[in-house]
Amino acid sequence: MFTKLREKILSKEFLSSKIKRIIILDSVDSTNNYGQLLDRPLDGTIVIANNQTNGKGRNGREWKSFNEKNIAISMILNYPKSNEHIGLTSILTANSVIQTLEMLDFYPRVKWPNDILINSKKISGILSEAVFKNNKAKSLIIGVGINVNCGSSDFFEGSFDYRIDPTSMFLEKNCIFSREDVIVSFLENFFKWVDEFKCKNFETILDFWLSRWDEIGKNISIVKNGKKINGNIYNVNTKGELILQVDNKEIVINSGEILV
């Protein structure tokens, strides 16, 4: 259980100035789902679950959670007036996870668009969703899952198809971590990166992410709108879009499913 989490969050002056509402749940299907159903999804609302029973990943996948061993958290922000750089919200969130892990002597890398890896295994994932009212985007919900204290037996109990082999902080360091302390550190990093976004420091956000990215030049196949595209990864732009070289031409991909 999270016995002192609210107190720890509010004890940080920076966080108390940024967070308007803290919702801590014992159990929920998905923190993103819960945020979607709020009557008033205030900017600066955070939803944290001690246990998540049906976490959401990209493209309708399930994010595997384990009771009191993982972090499941969603942050709600006002939808930006311009959505030109909306793809950077997942990247700045990844930056926040990276910084949190690096402070604990981990060496994470990123995989476009929303995966954080340790030793080529997935330790964290991100899912951003818009909340609409009267057919207009009003809020942005950013869900984050971090594998903290789960072991190998947790991951492979029952049948579950992992797209990328999983790992956890415990498995990488062989020690138990305080989920509360990890959450507080993550939130501090997250809202600092949100401030960079609000100040339109898009290059700063992207440069940090790119420095932890090893996929440039990699040959991949990606499915976009049901069409398979083969190419070499060239870059990611300040809109968070992937740039591929296909037959000596640059193709911009703003969403899709990387197969290889």
> Per residue, what are the HEC states of the chain?
CCCCHHHHHHCCHHHHHHCCEEEEEEEECCHHHHHHCCCCCCCCEEEEEEEECCEECHHHCEECCCCCCEEEEEEEEECCCCCCCCCHHHHHHHHHHHHHHHCCCCCCEEECCCEEEECCEEEEEEEEEEEEECCEEEEEEEEEEEECCCCHHHHCCCCCCCCCCECCHHHHHCCCCCHHHHHHHHHHHHHHHHHHHHCCCHHHHHHHHHCCECCCCCEEEEEECCEEEEEEEEEECCCCCEEEEECCEEEEECCCEECC
| Phi/psi-derived region of residue 147, left when phi > 0, alpha when psi is between -120 and 50, beta in every other case | beta
**Is 31 in the same domain as 105?**
yes
CATH of the domain at 229: 2.30.30
**Is 125 in the same domain as 231?**
no
Alpha carbons 128 and 117: distance in angstroms, whole number: 18
Output the tens digit of pLDDT for each of the chain's 260 residues.
Answer: 899 999 999 999 999 999 999 999 999 999 999 999 998 788 999 999 999 987 666 656 667 788 899 999 999 999 988 889 999 999 999 999 999 999 999 999 999 988 999 999 999 999 999 888 777 888 999 999 999 999 998 888 766 778 889 999 999 999 999 999 999 999 999 999 999 999 999 999 999 999 999 999 899 888 877 788 899 999 999 999 999 999 889 989 887 667 65
**Is 97 in the same domain as 11?**
yes
**Is 49 in the same domain as 159?**
yes
Output phi, psi for 121, to 5 deg.
Answer: -115, 145
Residue 256 is predicted with a pLDDT of 65
**Is 44 in the same domain as 111?**
yes
**Is 241 in the same domain as 147?**
no
CATH of the domain at 153: 3.30.930.10
Q: How many domains does the chain have?
A: 2
Output phi, psi for 7, to 5 deg.
Answer: -60, -40
Output phi, psi for 159, to 5 deg.
Answer: -105, 120
- Which amino acid appears at position 55 of this protein? G
**Is 172 in the same domain as 247?**
no
**Is 130 in the same domain as 240?**
no
Task: Give the CA distances from residue 107 to residues 3, 43, 211, in Å, rounded to whole numbers and listed in that order.
Answer: 29, 32, 12
**Is 205 in the same domain as 249?**
no
**Is 226 in the same domain as 191?**
no
> Do β-strands 136-147 and 115-118 pair in parallel, antiparallel, or remain unpaired?
unpaired
**What residue numbers bound the domain in which 251 lies?**
219-258
Residue 122 is predicted with a pLDDT of 95
> Do β-strands 115-118 and 109-111 pair in parallel, antiparallel, or remain unpaired?
antiparallel
Residue 257 is predicted with a pLDDT of 65
**Is 45 in the same domain as 64?**
yes
